[in-house]
A and B are shown apart, each in its own frame.
Chain A
Amino acid sequence: MIDHASLLAVLPELILTAGGLALMLVAAFAGEGSARVVNWLSVLTLAVAGIALSCSLAHGPVAFDGLVRADAFSVFAKTLIYGAAAAAILLAPRFFSVDGAPRPEYPILILFAAIGMGMMVSAGDMLMLYVGLEMNSLASYVLASFMRQDTRSSEAGLKYFVLGSLASGILLYGISLLYGFTGSTAFDGIAVAMGDGVSKGELFGLVFVLAGLAFKISAVPFHMWTPDVYEGAPTPVTTFFASAPKVAAIGLTVRVAIEALGPAGLDWQQIVIFVALASILFGAVAAVGQTNIKRLMAYSSINNVGFALIGLAAGTPAGAAATMSYMAIYVIMTIGGFACILQLRDTDGNAIEKIADLAGLSQSRKGLAAGLAIFMFSMAGIPPLFGFWAKFLVFDAAVASGLTALAAFGIAMSVIGAFYYLKVIKTMYFDEPTVAYEAKGGPVENIILTACAVVIVLGYLLNPVLDQASAAAAASLF
């Protein structure tokens, strides 16, 4: 017996499902020529789903007997996910029209991935979590190998699939342990069972679940797939991987850690602290030697996930809010950064990925170089750019909950990270030009780039809104 009111809570997912299926039929019958139309309709579907988010709150936080949560947290995360997914769709056509024909399956796969991500952040049950995760992953595997004729892309898809399946196995094993020892797959049920002390079996389950999730957020030591997949996947897909699924996986991790594993806070806190510091350090150190800008962004995303987890390590509502704010700012920086990278093409239209070839970009393409420099400085956490505020929030939460040493260590390591971001800026601004760039970029890319840059420069004016939204999101977890 379906509770009709519950359907309202998943209205955004229903819209995406209906839209995705309908567009798939359009694509199947109209063929590749429909790519353009399907692209715009997909963005429209995401926009409608975004509007529907406001309705989903009307039902109340719990739907389908606890399988689904429709609360401020899921709304916050889904807003970011839909926005990032739409950007990934908008950034794609120009890329695919140069490197092979644009195909309508791309936006549809992103829609299906968005459904999965929506389920991830609003899951209230381990099985729901798993289904959402797999739905997202399945679409992602296909997306990674989207350019079939390119061996790098196929390799990326295969690697992602094999390692992703392994991680899913680990996660599922952890879920089974938790179910076996707590007798429940529901988050609140697990929390209740853990309330009387964490047994050894529950602890093992917790470790396996966190390991599986660490893979999905590409945190050290489960990060190995990230650089290869990011480099091999088509750049718009990389844009997508670096933004929306990151938000979903981090949101999911935060929710599981607090709602399901909350009573075992002290146990997962040390794991999260280790993973956070290891990710920051490894992401920063390994990025220094990179010569490919997409690989660099992969290590940068590992590094950023480490910073975001510091908020979770604090374990407080302020910390969870800081993590979500971090992801919001990170998504904007990442999409802006990739909007720049997607425009790096020489006069023949070949994509440029080597950092050394960025030399002198500030002289041939002033606006593009300025944009990329803004995002790089911002990711390095240099004020007054908004990326600083993201780091500020997580460290502030850590200091507030007494983890001053963690904050001091983490922030000191952010200086190492600053080095490789500076390297990109140095190449663009200090070196003499070596490669001739195409004269101007695409209008859509430029609009997205400019919008992101404006937010990054003037973001502090959004602080009151961001604070309020992230605080409400975090409050719904505790």
Chain B
Amino acid sequence: MDGFPILSLMMAVPMAGAIACLFAGASGARWIALIATLVDLVLGIALWINFDQGGLQWQFQEYYPIFGRFAWALGIDGIALMLIALTVFLMPICIGASWEAIQKRVPEYMAAFLLMEVLMIGVFAAQDLYLFYIMFEAGLIPMYLVIGIWGGADRIYASYKFFLYTLLGSVLMLIAMMWMVHEAGTTEIPVLMTYNFDPHVQTWLWLAFFASFAVKMPMWPVHTWLPDAHVQAPTAGSVILAGVLLKMGGYGFIRFSLPMFPEASAQLAPLVWGLSMVAVVYTSLVALVQSDMKKLIAYSSVAHMAIVTVGLFAFNQAGIEGSMMVMLGHGLVSGALFLCVGVIYDRLHTREINRYGGLSINMPKYAVLFLLFTMASVGLPGTSNFVGEFLSLMGIYQASSWVALVATTGIILGAAYMLYLYRRICYGDQSNADAAAMPDLTAREIALLAPLAAATLWMGVYPESFLAPMRADVRALEARLAPAAPAGDSKMTMGAPKPAGEGHHEEAPAHGEAH
């Protein structure tokens, strides 16, 4: 595939689809959108197959300097590959989820989603700083329209909040980017990733980028746009928001904040840790008392994203790989959970948890799949999130055992709110007659949830498929961070292997040394 512009093609297909949708009728637009996203899925698989693991860091590079000051420069490493794979995997599911739920202004809806796919792939594939920014910001337009036109009752407030919050976060990043480009004399991201900025300036640059990524992520206390946006957005909008758009924040940390400003990252890591610790505990507790299903899952997303930031700012391979796995796993699982909510919302048109109950009796298939995703969200071993959360926490333990301690409570609290949610919806008496009369999953809904279930299990049972493409890139990042990384407080050392035949009492001193 040398020289074949597959990344541009992956962006061109949904773009063409989006334009075609605008000129089609409702059912035509649905099929165009489905076909375009499926073609992109096939291209994404081809991309993964042709990705040379352990080869060059940047692959499938394209460079066309057609914009004057910046270029159409694309290229991916393993990290971007995984996130692009997640995007193209979720998009057909989103289109499928909107097949019947969206009845008004279908062509525009499908066009907005396809445009979003273009921009998401663009964000992950961009190799030019300004191109990245344009893709990153442009995503606001389709999402604003999706929330505002097809959202729930309070959609207008939510759409404004989403737009202005994320815009305000991002504009400062642009100023920092301009400064960097003038300083380094290039807009190429790979070059900037190895450029050593003055550590004093790094702090300012880091903060400017942080303002953007923290909002996008979202981190406490700038997470408040997320529950509103999620609750009001249509199901597919929530899926793509939780599944991919939030990952742009994490991707930003991996691609920009950490490698470009290693000293500032180390210096400000306690800030990130502190915000993440608050987020884990606080948003989990908030999730526990929600009566709205979507809001509950939205708050759980904030808690999960805090585990991601904790892992990223562990400055070691385990932490960063774990963060990536949490992002991928959360992309699948939270997407699936929003779909599960969408399934019953389509039947009863309410998100109130109390209006349901005992669904395992009349919707057994649904109950099984919902249980699987609930368990995955909790982080049960064998599911995707376990791998990521375990690695992240292991990574942060090396950097700060206190942070690890607090962040781990997130797993327990996560189990509490998710199992409590599941109990109220699927178990208990069928106290609501209309909820008890709901039919089980249709073939279409099973077709949407089954691939997600399969991927969740695959990621949990054999995470190597997902870790392998990223490994070299994460190692490179770890090496870049190594000189600046803060010294850990756990001071772990490798235990000396015990000579055979000796008793347990020998273990005690070795254990003491490790602390």
Partner-B contacts on A (CB < 8 A): 362-363, 377, 382-384, 388, 392, 395-396, 399-400, 404, 407-408, 411-412, 414-415, 418-419, 422, 425-426, 429-430, 460-461, 463-464, 466-467
Out of B138, B148, B155, which one reaches A384, CB within 8 Å?
Answer: B138
The number of chain B residues with a CB under 8 A from chain A is 33
Measured between alpha carbons, how far is A382 from B172 in the docked complex, in Å? 14
Residues of A within 8 A of B141 (CB): 377, 382
Residue of B66, B105, B171 ringed by the most chain A CB atoms within 10 A:
B171
Is B427 in the interface zone, CB < 8 Å from A? no
Measured between alpha carbons, how far is A362 from B22 in the docked complex, in Å? 13
Out of A362, A383, A395, A419, which one reaches B137, CB within 8 Å?
Answer: A383
Q: In the complex, are the beta carbons of B66 and A430 less than 8 A apart?
A: no
Out of B108, B160, B178, which one reaches A407, CB within 8 Å?
Answer: B178
Is B69 in the interface zone, CB < 8 Å from A? yes
- Contact A392 B174, CB 8 Å, known A429-B148, A461-B67: yes
Q: In the complex, are the beta carbons of B175 and A408 less than 8 A apart?
A: yes
Residues of B within 8 A of A460 (CB): 66-68
Q: In the complex, are the beta carbons of B167 and A415 less than 8 A apart?
A: yes
Measured between alpha carbons, how far is A30 from B179 in the docked complex, in Å? 61
Those 4 A-B pairs whose CB atoms lie nearest each other, nearest first: A463-B68, A383-B134, A399-B178, A411-B171
- Contact A422 B66, CB 8 Å, known A411-B171, A412-B172, A415-B168: no
Residues of A within 8 A of B68 (CB): 460, 463-464, 466-467
Measured between alpha carbons, how far is A407 from B173 in the docked complex, in Å? 11
Measured between alpha carbons, how far is A377 from B115 in the docked complex, in Å? 16
Q: In the complex, are the beta carbons of A400 and B174 less than 8 A apart?
A: no
Residues of A within 8 A of B284 (CB): none
Is B182 in the interface zone, CB < 8 Å from A? yes
Measured between alpha carbons, how far is A408 from B177 in the docked complex, in Å? 12
Q: In the complex, are the beta carbons of A411 and B155 less than 8 A apart?
A: no
Out of B69, B108, B137, B148, which one reaches A426, CB within 8 Å?
Answer: B148
Q: What 1/0 flags go to B352-395 for Cβ under 8 Å of A?
A: 00000000000000000000000000000000000000000000
Measured between alpha carbons, how far is A411 from B68 in the docked complex, in Å? 22
Q: In the complex, are the beta carbons of B172 and A426 less than 8 A apart?
A: no
Q: In the complex, are the beta carbons of B138 and A382 less than 8 A apart?
A: yes
Out of B155, B164, B175, B178, which one reaches A430, CB within 8 Å?
Answer: B155
Out of B67, B138, B159, which one reaches A463, CB within 8 Å?
Answer: B67
Measured between alpha carbons, how far is A418 from B156 in the docked complex, in Å? 15
Out of A418, A463, A466, which one reaches B164, CB within 8 Å?
Answer: A418
**Is chain A's binding surface mostly helix, strand, loop or mixed?**
helix
Out of A384, A411, A422, which one reaches B175, CB within 8 Å?
Answer: A411
Q: In the complex, are the beta carbons of A430 and B148 less than 8 A apart?
A: yes
Is B144 in the interface zone, CB < 8 Å from A? yes
Q: Whole-angstrom distance from the CB of B60 to the nearest CB of chain A?
A: 22
Residues of B within 8 A of A430 (CB): 148-149, 155-156, 159
Q: In the complex, are the beta carbons of B167 and A399 less than 8 A apart?
A: no
Residues of B within 8 A of A414 (CB): 171
* 11 residue pairs A–B, Cβ–Cβ below 8 Å: A363-B105, A382-B137, A383-B138, A384-B134, A392-B130, A411-B175, A412-B171, A422-B160, A430-B156, A460-B67, A467-B69
Residues of B within 8 A of A400 (CB): 178, 182
B 310-368 contacts with A by CB, 8 A: none
Residues of A within 8 A of B138 (CB): 382-384
Name the residue on B nearest A374 (C-beta): B141
Name the residue on A nearest B182 (C-beta): A400
Measured between alpha carbons, how far is A450 from B449 in the docked complex, in Å? 43
Is B133 in the interface zone, CB < 8 Å from A? yes
Q: Whole-angstrom distance from the CB of A355 to the nearest CB of chain B?
A: 15
Measured between alpha carbons, how far is A411 from B211 in the docked complex, in Å? 14
Out of A384, A399, A422, which one reaches B144, CB within 8 Å?
Answer: A422
Is B472 in the interface zone, CB < 8 Å from A? no
Is B404 in the interface zone, CB < 8 Å from A? no
Measured between alpha carbons, how far is A464 from B66 in the docked complex, in Å? 8
Out of A407, A422, A464, which one reaches B163, CB within 8 Å?
Answer: A422
Q: Whole-angstrom distance from the CB of A378 to the nearest CB of chain B?
A: 11
Residues of B within 8 A of A463 (CB): 66-69
Residues of B within 8 A of A466 (CB): 68
Is B145 in the interface zone, CB < 8 Å from A? yes
Q: In the complex, are the beta carbons of A395 and B174 less than 8 A apart?
A: yes
Residues of B within 8 A of A411 (CB): 171-172, 174-175
- Contact A415 B171, CB 8 Å, known A383-B134, A383-B137, A430-B155: yes
Measured between alpha carbons, how far is A339 from B67 in the docked complex, in Å? 28
Is B140 in the interface zone, CB < 8 Å from A? yes
Q: A396-B178, A429-B145, A464-B67 are known; give 6 further A-B pairs, CB within 8 A.
A: A395-B174, A412-B168, A418-B164, A422-B164, A429-B149, A464-B66
Residues of A within 8 A of B144 (CB): 422, 425
Q: Whole-angstrom distance from the CB of B375 to the nearest CB of chain A?
A: 38
- Contact A419 B134, CB 8 Å, known A414-B171, A467-B69: no
Q: Whole-angstrom distance from the CB of A358 to the nearest CB of chain B?
A: 14
Q: Whole-angstrom distance from the CB of A422 to the nearest CB of chain B?
A: 6
B 276-317 contacts with A by CB, 8 A: none
Name the residue on B nearest A397 (C-beta): B178
Residues of A within 8 A of B133 (CB): 383
Measured between alpha carbons, how far is A412 from B167 in the docked complex, in Å? 9
Q: Whole-angstrom distance from the CB of A443 to the nearest CB of chain B?
A: 20
- Contact A461 B66, CB 8 Å, known A408-B172, A429-B149: yes
Q: Whole-angstrom distance from the CB of B398 to the nearest CB of chain A?
A: 36
Name the residue on A nearest B180 (C-beta): A399
Residues of B within 8 A of A388 (CB): 134, 137
Measured between alpha carbons, how far is A25 from B68 in the docked complex, in Å? 48
Measured between alpha carbons, how far is A363 from B105 in the docked complex, in Å? 9
Measured between alpha carbons, how far is A404 from B179 in the docked complex, in Å? 8
Name the residue on B nearest A423 (C-beta): B160
Q: Whole-angstrom distance from the CB of A429 to the nearest CB of chain B?
A: 6
B 139-154 contacts with A by CB, 8 A: 140-141, 144-145, 148-149
B 46-86 contacts with A by CB, 8 A: 66-69
Measured between alpha carbons, how far is A407 from B182 in the docked complex, in Å? 14
Residues of B within 8 A of A407 (CB): 175, 178
Measured between alpha carbons, how far is A429 from B112 in the docked complex, in Å? 13
- Contact A419 B160, CB 8 Å, known A383-B133, A407-B178: yes
Q: In the complex, are the beta carbons of B171 and A426 less than 8 A apart?
A: no
Measured between alpha carbons, how far is A466 from B68 in the docked complex, in Å? 9
- Contact A426 B159, CB 8 Å, known A377-B141, A466-B68: yes
Out of B148, B155, B164, B171, which one reaches A419, CB within 8 Å?
Answer: B164
Out of B156, B164, B178, B179, which one reaches A415, CB within 8 Å?
Answer: B164
Measured between alpha carbons, how far is A399 from B174 in the docked complex, in Å? 11
Q: Whole-angstrom distance from the CB of B344 to the nearest CB of chain A?
A: 26
Name the residue on A nearest B172 (C-beta): A408
Residues of A within 8 A of B163 (CB): 418, 422
Name the residue on B nearest A381 (C-beta): B171
Name the residue on B nearest A380 (C-beta): B167
Measured between alpha carbons, how far is A429 from B163 in the docked complex, in Å? 15
Residues of B within 8 A of A363 (CB): 105
Residue of A383, A412, A419, A463 ringed by the most chain B CB atoms within 10 A:
A383
